[in-house]
Amino acid sequence: MPDLLRAASKLVAFALLLLGVSAQAEAMRLLHSERSLYREVLVYDAGNIRCMCFTRACRVGRQSCMDRKQPERIVMSYPRMMLASLYVRPAPESILIIGLGGGTLPMALSQMFPQARIDTVEIDPAVVRVARRYFGFRDTGRIQVFEMDGRVFVKRALRQGQRYDLIMLDAFDHEYIPEHLLTREFIGEVKSLLIPQGVLVANTFSTSRLYDHESVTYAAEFDEFFNLKRENRVIIAVNGDLPQDSILERNSTRLEEAFAELGFDARQLLPLFSREVDWDPHARVLTDQYSPANLLNLRKKDPAGR
């Protein structure tokens, strides 16, 4: 009898799971789909939430989401974590963002710092069009969009002598970060664009076969960095010394009101800051000659969705 009960309970649980998946699929309404040179760009509505995805039914992950009733509210966890870089650099005047998505980060930073220059780089014109049409993105005022490869932009900016207070790396395809944006050479180029004590913040996965390789690659250029993890992982590195915890706490207090206007509590991000080395320090550094990111990522371990 106990075996029969266990079998029956498993069948009930499985049926409920199927019902839940079916209900979720029915709740998602495809609003837009277009094939670009790089990917398929899709927009789904589910209730008040609108998301940009690069796979059907967002089966791998969501690139960007917004609340249609409160468009200023930041819905997803990873852009909130990336904004925690402001605890390190609280008032940036020049910002570079590589990877547009729905435009959440440049719009939020423009709201917080209307006088800041914000250069945003996006390789896919389709993503830019979708961000403008469906996510309320406006590249006006001091926001400028450059439709080109992120590494090409960085090399040109170096030749032109440009420098930034804050650089955000948020470039993903439908699977992972393009491999030429993962190497030590690229990270070194980005570091060279930072002013002294400028901040680099990078969005990546919290668990993957690349975790150790990515970590030692950033450590090769920055020695140490802050490691923040929830569904995603956010790396925050400084072109100089990492600030003490007391400075992070003071800056988080300064940002409480601004973050509240974006729909989240600044105090919830402070405990995520970690200096712990939780990777294999002997892993091989990713370089332009050795960057098998696509092969390593095919064997990734249960990566968190974006």
Reference 222, options 236, 232, 237, 200; nearest CA is: 237
CA 2 – CA 8 distance, rounded (Å) = 10
CA 39 – CA 300 distance, rounded (Å) = 21
Q: Taking the CB of residue 304, how many other CB atoms lie within 10 A of it?
A: 16
Identify whether 170 is a catalytic site residue: yes
CA 99 – CA 105 distance, rounded (Å) = 10
Contact 288, 180 (CB under 8 A): yes
Q: Taking the CB of residue 133, how many other CB atoms lie within 10 A of it?
A: 12
Helices 184-192 and 150-159, axial angle in degrees (round to 10): 40
Separation in Å, CA 223 to CA 17, 239, 275, 302:
45, 10, 11, 28
Give, for 99, the enclosing helix (H) or strand (E).
Answer: none
Tell me which of 170, 265, 278, 288 is the catalytic residue. Answer: 170
Positions marked catalytic: 170
